[in-house]
Every structure is written in C-alpha cells, then in structure tokens.
Amino acid sequence: MRNALGLTLLALALAISGCALIGESPAHVGGDATLGDAARAARPDTSSKRRRRGPARPPLDVGYTVPSATGTSVEVTSLDGGSSPSGGSSSVRPSDADDGPPGFIGAVGGGGSIGGTEYDGFGEFGLDLGFGVTDRWRADLLGTVSPIQFSDMTIAGQSFRNEIDLNLDLTARFNLTESYTFMGAYPLAGVRCGTLFWDYAQPITVIEDGTPRVVNNDHINHFSVYGGFGFSPMRLRHLQIGTQLLGGSRFYSWTSHQGFSNTLFPPAGFVQVRFEAGYSF
C-alpha cells in the first residue's frame, strides 16, 4: 500500500506543479491583439470581389516575448527515507503484499457537451492507470485525446479547423462496496489539465518582437475540476468494466501560445459520460 500511495502522491505533485501538457506558453508584453482579432483575420472571405478590391488586413501586434526564467531542479526522495540495503529484510510483510488493494490498467472512452453556444460537443478516448490506495480508495491517472467541435454559428467555428484536446486527469474514487464484490458503485472527484489545439482557416500575419511572421495554428491551456458517480456492473478477478456520469467546470489560460489575449473562451461548465474497461491486478 505504501508504494501505491507514493505513486499517487507523485502523480498529484506532477499534475499540480505543471498543469500544461506541453509547458507554459511564452509570455508576451506590449501587444494588443486578441483571439477575437485572430479569428476574424482567419475567417475565410466568401466574396471574391472583396478579396480583390478590399484592403489587406494589417498585421496583429502580439508584443514582445518575455524570456523564461531558468527552471529549478526538484529532488524526489522515497517516502520511507531511502531504499533498504541489498540483502536486508523487506519492510513489506508477505501478508501485506497478498492483501494489497488492486490496481487497474485499461481504456476509457465517451463524450459530452460544454455549456454555452460556442461548442457542439466533444469526444474522449485514452488510457487509464489506477492505483489502489486502500481496499475502498483508488486513484487513477488518465491520458486522453478529445476531438472537440465549435458551433458553426460562432466565429471560432468559422475560423478554426482540426480542433483537438489533449488531457491529463487525476481522479480519486471511494468504492461503496468491497473490491471483491461482483458489482460496485462509487462517487469520484477529479482534476484535468489540458491543451486545446487548432489550425486557423487561413494564415495570419502578426508582429512579434518588432518582426512580422505568419501564424498557421495555435493552442491554449486549460484546467478543469469535476465530480460525479460511477457504477461497475461487472468486477471479476482480472476484468472490470464500468461507466461514469461526470460534471464540472473548465477554465482557460489568459493568453494563447501565439500571444493573443483570450477573449473567446470564458469559463464553462460541462457534462460527460465515460466508459472504462480493463485489467485488474
């Protein structure tokens, strides 16, 4: 149990210390361009006359990049203060190892909707790695890919293409029944760190560090908290399937990776259904 608890705490520390999946976007100062400006500049113009006769759109000023500070190293030590010397007695009794809480590895899938008129919905599929903390408590680390669609009636839906989310979730559940029972139910809570990627419908010219350049794609980080209830209709010794109904809130970063101020993505609520199936060990 101590090893499982250590892995759970380590996963929690990693999730909290670095929520963005691909690192923080470079900070920009002095610019006044917004995501709304970028979406309008990238929106295809259906009028050929306007494209021939209309004035060219001016470059969007995203300001100057701020050099990132040098990162600091973090030393991770084991929870028991160090490894036991070779040949020494183990600190885990055989009975503890035999009766330890089960782990889980499997696949997840599902979908849901995000509140507001900006979205048409999203899907989800990925992998789940669970750690039994006690016989009733289990922590799960999930890596998922979520195709997401913006409404065609919005400027984002008209200007963005190939939208996709990459997410890392950490959840905790409390089983209302013992782990050896055939069926089970549990409440759960989780946090999600993710990055939303998209391509612009047409290239955008920006001014960065006083120099023009062309932008074809962008991304923005986000953070979510959620809770819900799950049900496992079948739990065998090495097989488990289940479903979850979840609801929560999503919060986006202040700026996109390309330096545009976030004026398109306000905080939003979401609901989703998640299915899981995998190997219990």
Q: Which residues of the chain have pLDDT under 50?
A: 1-6, 8-18, 48-51, 53, 71-74, 76-79, 81-99
Q: 126 is written with which tokens? A: 């990925």
What pLDDT shows up at residue 222?
Answer: 96
CB atoms closer than 10 angstroms to residue 114: 19
Q: Largest alpha-carbon pair distance within the chain?
A: 83
* 218, 45 Cβ separation under 8 angstroms: no
Nearest to 166 by CA among 31, 23, 39: 23
Residues in Cβ contact with 46 at an 8 Å cutoff, skipping those fewer than 6 apart: none
What pLDDT shows up at residue 109?
Answer: 98
What pLDDT shows up at residue 46?
Answer: 54
Domains and CATH numbers, the chain: 2-17+35-44+56-65+102-280 (2.40.160.20)
What pLDDT shows up at residue 153?
Answer: 84
3-state secondary structure string across the chain:
CHHHHHHHHHHHHHHHHCCCCCCCCCCEEECCCEHHHHHHHHCCCCCHHHHHHCCCCCCEEEEEECCCCCCCCCCCCCCCCCCCCCCCCCCCCHHHHHCCCCCEEEEEEEEEEECCCCEEEEEEEEEEEEEECCCCEEEEEEEEEEEEEECCCCHHHHHEEEEEEEEEEEEEEECCCCCCCCCEEEEEEEEEEEEEEEEEEEEEEEEECCEEEEEEEEEEEEEEEEEEEEEEEEECCCCEEEEEEEEEEEEECCECCCCCECCCCCCEEEEEEEEEEEEEC
The string of pLDDT tens digits covering residues 173-212 is: 999 988 778 999 999 999 999 999 999 999 999 999 999 9
Q: How far apart are CA 65 and CA 118, in angstroms?
A: 30
What pLDDT shows up at residue 172?
Answer: 97
Q: How far apart are CA 240 and CA 120, in angstroms?
A: 31
Residues in Cβ contact with 116 at an 8 Å cutoff, skipping those fewer than 6 apart: 266, 268
Residues in Cβ contact with 98 at an 8 Å cutoff, skipping those fewer than 6 apart: none
- Say which amino acid occupies 64: Y
